[in-house]
Structure 1
Amino acid sequence: MPFIAPAIAAIGAAATGIASFVGGLGIVGQALLGIGLNFAVSALRGDQKQEPVSGTQLQVQYGADRPREVAVGLVAVAGHDVYTNTYGASNKYMQKVFVLSDFPVTALTRIAVNGEWRAINWGNVEGRGAQVTGFEKDVLRIRFYDGRHTALQAAEFGEHGLVGSSNPAGRWTADHVGKATSFVVVNARFDDEEMASLPQFLFEFQGAPLYDVRKDTTAGGAGAQRWNDVATWEYSENPIVQAYNYERGFFANGQLLVGKGVPVADLPAAPWMSAANVCDESTPTRSLRYRAGALFSTSDGVTHSDNLAPVLEACSGGLFYLVDGDHPIVGANQPVVATLTDDDIIVGSPRQFRAKRSRSDLVNTVFGTYNSPDDLWAATSYDPRSSAPALAADRERHAKALNFGAVFVASQASDLAEAALRRARYQASETVIVRPRWIVLEPGDWISLASARYGTRTYQVVGRSLGALNANGARNVTLTLDEVGNGIYDSSVVIPERPPRISPGFPVRLSTLQGFIAYASQVTNAAGRALPAITVQWDLIDDVTVDAVVIEYWKSDDPARRIQATFDRASVSGVVAEGLVPRTSYTLQGTVVTNPPRNTFFSAPQIVTTLTEDLAAELADLQEDIQEILRFGPESLARFEELLEGLAATIATTNVVQHSEAENANASLIEERTTRATETEALARRTDGVVAELTDVATLATGTATVVETMEGRVTLTEEGLAVAAERQEIVESRIDSVEGVNLGQANALNSLSTSVTQQGNSITAQANLISGVQATVGEVSAQGLFSTQVVAGGSGGSVRLALLARVTAGSGYTQTGIFLDITNGVGTVLIDANRFIITDGANPNVFPFVVQGGIVKLAIARFQQLISDNGKMLIDGSGGTISIYD
């Protein structure tokens, strides 16, 4: 791979010829960051542009044309792949070189191989490097260069080194040192069981050693660190220390690699030391309050603000650019440095006060992600933070994301989100003009302002300017103030919530029916018949845009079938009766119709059970149901006789497969097999039977015995859809015919099973039938016994109909009795069809306590509590022993 050598040469020249990101922005460029910038709060307000600058780089980078990156704090990267080499017998070994950072780093802590963390055994080092644990065989080793080296390790010139094993020789030479660049050499030995292919890597390491001004005696601190001696620097996860180093810049051989290059004179040590000390404080859940890990980048479009934002967000911090230089501020409550009153404000000067943020700036819920080392440094959600008092005050959720690209501790991310949320709940702001003596106030200071009109509040100075000479004097100071308080970082402090501004009310327009109720009642038709009804009521409507009231109702167990009734808007009640049946549960709801039309909705449903109607009307309606059930008996008998008549046709069309014949007798076995398959039909049918026939030579009467079994299955495709049917029939018949062919006597028994499923569009109907019957006929007298069942499912529900029927026919008349069981439309019925219906206990054959005969109920003996006449005018009280008659 000859194209790799130029890339490695570029690494070797990093210390002497790297074109860097532009250094200091100068006074104007620095001002672009804004006075009083707090990155976390700005992100919540939507002011801060969120760039993909963070402490992770999970995708491998390729090619020589890539931005410089300097890692600080604890970070993880997949690395920059700059070299690949295979060597050994059958190219059994592979070398890879991954650049971690374009600046020295402190330590390589662990490595993830194919998504699983592995430790590095630095005590087991040989020619291929330190052993990566977790494998049964010695298949993976690494060598680590922290960037502070001046030459290649001796191992690189051995059998498994970059120089010693380069293939072909000379691809990697002693000149490819990679000074000031931290990188890892991976050596993999291919093995069919554990290393069949090169795995994916993720390297976790401690970033650059950093200069800490607190540890430099010559800068006002205490320690041996010196800015001009990198060897004295130490690894640090302190966000302010990281930001300080970025401000001064990262250099190699006098060249600025990354950072601003701000002179030390513009970075006063005292505020930087103070802010760094706050980051190193402990909390109840952490030994260090704020920690960070980031990759400072020179990628196109990435500004100094983009690089600093993740680090300063990690400590809820910001930068203020003052006359004496750049000042940091960190997430902690600040002391109040001054107290102002109305007397300090220039009388007659313009004053702007806002007690509450606009709705677009409100935040009451914060969520987001941090970099989780346990999850391979993936962006992982921290516990979202929300404020119940804020939600109540805002009357709706205002959620914003706050992603921490340089935070790798979950509790820290949650605390930062909580602080940012609480900071946003201090909502007041002011712009005031005060007397010249307050020129001493600086952006970032916390002050107290007591106002007779607006109350006493604590503010942070976020802007300051001097005024020109005018009628109010010269050098007056304009202060821009944002409300703050100790509640930002102290959750025990209650932040007062201010109710939102409520706009003047608009006319109330109804969107549903108010005060809707319903109850059971009755109505009387023209014939004087009492029918069930439901009375509905609602509140008086004074909305002039309402045209009408609509009531919708349905059987509670059949919501698909709904009825609507419309009433005038001026009414407050109405009666619905259409389609109602007695003693049935109905659900009702109401709404309004408006002009001009607008969205409306139905009121809460009301459930009502209808009353009964008078007995005569109820029996009249019941008569139709009874006739419908009774029709099932004759229909079943007709089907029974139809099947019997089909016997002769079946025998005539089947094949005789075996036949025996004598002078006056014959016997046959019959059989038929039919199959057919077309584009619109599939059919299979089988018929088996026996026929035996014998003639009496004396009387010439013929006796015939027949048994036939038929099975058929059919599937048909029609324009409406599929029709599927299956049938099985068993028929036995015995008969005697005269010499003239007149039937003298016949007995039949039949058992028929049939099923069908039909499809019509999206509707499916399934039906099954069973008929079992016997019949005996001599002359004009016929006796029949039948059991028939029909079940149907589909459409709007299901039904079951069963008949146990007996009939004797003599001439043109017949006598019939039967029991019918029926379930239709959710109503179960037991119907007995008889001339005489008797109930007896069988113990006393002389006593029949309950008899129905000739349509009259006869009771031999009965006990009752009350008997009421149909018109309600006569009452017999069986308990009290009275008879009452009313006019």
Structure 2
Amino acid sequence: MAIFTAAAIAAAIGISQGFIATAVAFALNAAVYAAASFGLSYAAKAISGQKEQKNTDNFGVQGKLTGGGAVPRSFGLGYHMTAGSLTYANHHGNFGDTPNAYVTQVIALSDLPRERLVGVWVNGQRITLAAGGADAGTWGSSSIGYPVPEFIRPHNGEGGATPHLWIKYYGGTQTAADAYVINAASSADRPYGVNRIGRGICYAVVTYLADENLWNGFPEFKWELSGVPLYDPSKDSTVGGSGSHRYNDENTWGGDGDDYPVVHAFNILRGFHYNGVWLYGLQNMAPARLPATNWITQVAKCRATIAAAGGAEPVYRCGGQINVDTQAANALETILTSCQGRLSEIGGFYKVHVGEPDTPTFAFSDDDILSTEAQLYKPFFSLSESVNGIQARYPSPAQGWNYDTAPAYYRTDLEMRDGNRRLMASPQFDFVPYAEQVQRLQKSAIEEAQRARTHTLVLPPAFWIVEPGDVGAWTSVRNGYDAKLFRVDSAIDQDNLDVTLNLTEVDPADYDWHTGTEFVPVIGGVVGSIPPPAQGIADWSAQPYALLDDTGLARRPAILISWAGDTLGVSAVQFEVRLASDGSHVTRGRTERVTAGSLIITQGILPATTYQVRGQFIPSTPRDMLWSSWIGVTTEDIRLSLAEFDAAVAAQVTALQRQMEDRITDRLQQIEARLSEAMSRGWIDKHEIRSQIFAQFGAAYAEIGRVDTVAVDAHTAVASLETTVTARFGDVDASITETAQAVATIEGWANARYSLALTVDGVATGFDLFNGGAGFTSCTFRADKFEVQFPGYNGNSPLPVFTIGTLNGSPAIGIAANMFLDGTLNARVIQAGSISTLQLAVNGVDLPNIINGAVSNTQLFDTPPASSSIGTTLLSQNVAIKSGKATMMLSAEWASPPANYAGSRPASAIAFYVDGSLVRQFTWSYTLYGTSGLHELYTPFSVHHTQKNLSDGVHNFQVRIVNYGANYSLLAGQLYITDFRR
């Protein structure tokens, strides 16, 4: 807080100067002592043991984002930080397959324009702004905003370098609402209209991907701003300064004075306006009431530089946010704390004094003091008022704008004076975000607070022009003063023009500072959270896999991925599969069964294809995770088998059969309906003839019946004939029923049906012919077998074509294959479901061997040890080959020569012969593992050759030595001869 004289405080809170004078006249000693207490700076008051008033206003730093309708307006002075207030937020947009993947927020930062964006903190991390930074205009981009480089990373397995955070800043001079928020973020339930321009308001638009691996809820932002441009009287040549500043032209404002506390105080006293409307501070303050000479002089004291650890810097700077509901007096006190400042009011004029005492403006001696008036002298503080150490708190930009505690300043000499007691004070510098300046303030406050000598005395009218804040030189034999400096903390005019002065000793040496010996470097702590290092996926592997059916037959190719299933802090595993040939995407997915440690991938996987697979852990709490490297894997060559063909054909045939049956059944039902209708409806013309003959004796009964019916009307013509022949004896009966029906309608359709049924004891045979037009015909036979007879052949004996029966409880037809004209059964006549794939064989090779590897025969032969003679036949074997292709593979090992062997080492060669003809020769050189005179060691070798286009039958395979290093011997090996079926 800034410090006022008694008169200045009275003016600030609205008490008249006359009231103060009356109070002082009534109780001079009490008033003078009170005035003396107001003469101390805030820091000095804190360390002198006086209780500072608890400040309930928001000063300096607003670290939490606010929102709602009750947020007061605010603006910034000097370099400061604010979290701002939320004015709009909404989810929107898709990222890949993720809906509402983006979040956009509009955050108001200042209710006065032209503040510059200096820096941004996101979740405790200061981000990198684009080159040139953000000025007071529009910055970011014309669309979504500036992509923050610290938050460019893959998103939830989507891959690639994807920005996750975008920022856009408006400096209050904008003339239109943000187009991106209107077009992308606005929705029907949360509209953002074109009228939301925010004239005169500095605000930011942030958009981020709602990535659960990155953000723990919503990201937190802290915005570093420059403060609003201020009028600096020291830069106005029309009032005694030097420069182009003009109070009536805000476009001329701004500069280094924006960081100085005296300039802040000056502008609060003049008041802040926007477009001519008052916003904050005093109103209608005449410029003459702020004497320019005084204010320019004090601005110069702030601007003066001092050697600091980081180079020369201004002596006093400050910055912070002010809410407009803050009392101006409290704001002034807080600001002037940063410069050991005091504000005084004399006759309606406001003056300021900062830092070390000014040059003396008057001098006096003991002879000038009116001895007839009361005097008061206080030589030292009481113990309860003494403080001999200080440790202040301040907002630290290096610590993410959290409040930091400065290194304590101790005075051991003062502790001894106070009875070896350490009496500490802990003031708070809300407007001082500068570490070294805080330490300078600590020292000067301690030194100033030790100036215990205060005098209250009365001087004659000649000193009537002395004002609070002035410094005088006092020479006193009685007190031992030789031009000792005293500051005037209050001056009270008497009715007889005498003046009562309250004086406090001062010493410019209290403000001396030597960075090299007095500055204590601040050791920064951890800013924000420390994320764990990015974690990779442990024990990641991928290999080909085959899906088997219940018979053990490989049916589908797949990829088996695996990982360390006992990894802690992991909620899921995600994977990606791409083609190795061109990197094109195949499939991606995830599983929450982390502890399983493996997963089979089948989607989109083809046989005999090389893929690349990578994986990544998904953490249970937000943190960075790394993708594994791409692992190549080639799937097994598993093709579709007859099982798939069988199922597909069966399904198609069944569907067609059911479709046809449904259509025919529909037509038959229509015929039945017409005939039934013929018996009941009123036909225009209908005729019917019935005839019946029968014979009966005891249990024997025989009958022939016939019914002929014709009927027509305006819509339908129906003709039917039914003849029944019946014979029955007791419980045994037999019957023959012949039915002929024909229907034609005005709707354009007609049907004809003829059936013959032979029934014996309930078992019916026969046939049923139906014709409903194109696509609606059928011929149904009910019998156990079907035979045909070609006249003149086979002794006129009929041959069965097929037999009806059941297979596994389902109807089936057995076909006589020799009924095909050429005696063969072609694939086009194979009925689905009639061939067992496990019993099918081609040239003696069963189906599993055809599908799995196509290998029908593998033989192994041992090769004997070989001498060094060239042309030696190592092996000669006759092997039966069925398919026309064979692979020969020889695995053997050379032995070491004698240790004293020093001869040449020619290359060795070995050859394969098939049926006496050379088909392949292999040559290799030796590898020396020692020097002359030492043994030479050789690794085992393996050579192979595939011979195609062999005829079925027995073939001779030989292995011969073509060239051989002297004194070497070939140890026993093995020859594999494999017969492939493809």
TM-score, L = length of structure 1 = 0.49
- Greater length-normalized contact order (CA 8 Å, ≥ 6 residues apart): 2
Q: Please say which structure displays the higher CA radius of gyration.
A: 2
- Tell me the TM-score normalized by structure 2: 0.45
Structure in which a larger fraction of residues adopt strand: 1
